[in-house]
Amino acid sequence: MLTVNSIKNGIVIDHIKAGLGIKIFKILELDKINSAVCLLMNVQSKKLGKKDIIKIENVVDIDFTILGILDPNITINVIKDEVIVEKKKLKLPERVENILRCKNPRCVTSIEKYIDQVFYLVDSKKGEYRCMYCDEIYALSEV
């Protein structure tokens, strides 16, 4: 079995749905930071069966709000001296750019491909977002 050492200081993004880790890695642009980063894929999990994990050493100031959209079950642990000092709860971001795509064929985004896909949070309980251009409302599971 593959083993990776625990980190002393930094962040562990845990309980990522298997297969989503690489997407999160790209969205957070972890390839551009200078610290040690580790992406573990298909790790055994009691809760999920399989899961992905990302460990980032010595960095704590990353904006994770976007992750709430991708997978609300993700947990973010802030590690200090090998101890979890904070568990960050994910909230749905108010505004999302270029993560969700509008499916309305009448929406201008269907023809003007260069514009940003922008959505605003309408209902955080229901996880509903509104397209900035056509006002169509979607549940997260739809987009």
Partner 1 sequence: MLKGRHLLDPMDFSLEEIEEILNLGEKISKNPEKFSKACQGKILATLFYEPSTRTRFSFEAAMLRLGGQVIGFSEPNSSSVAKGESIADTIRTIACYADIAVIRHPKEGAPRVAAMYSKIPVINAGDGGHQHPTQTLTDLLTIKSLKGRLSNLTIGLCGDLKFGRTVHSLIKAMSRYKDNKFILISPKELRVPDYIKREVLQKNNIEFLEVERIEDVIEKLDILYMTRVQRERFFNEEEYLRLKDSYILDNSKLKNAKEDMIILHPLPRVNEIAVEVDEDKRAKYFEQAKYGMFVRMALIIKLLGVEEC
Contacts of partner 1 in 92-121 (CB under 8 A): 104, 106-112, 114-115
Per DSSP, the three-state class of 26 is helix
Rounded least distance, CB 29 to partner 1, Å = 25
Site string for partner 1, 58-97 (x = CB under 8 A): ----------------------------------------
Rounded least distance, CB 113 to partner 1, Å = 9
What DSSP string describes 44-86? EETTTEEEEEEEEES------TTHHHH-TT-EEEEEETTEEEE
139 close to 127: Cβ distance less than 8 angstroms = yes
Nearer to partner 1, 83 or 108 (CB): 108
Per the structure block, which two tokens stand in for 130?
A: 């509104």
How far apart CA 13 and CA 39 sit, in angstroms, is 10
Task: Check whether 107 is labelled as a binding-site residue.
Answer: yes
Task: Check whether 38 is labelled as a binding-site residue.
Answer: no
Chain residues binding partner 1 by CB under 8 A are 104, 106-112, 114-115, 131-136
Q: Which residues are annotated as a binding site for Zn(2+)?
A: 102, 107, 131, 134
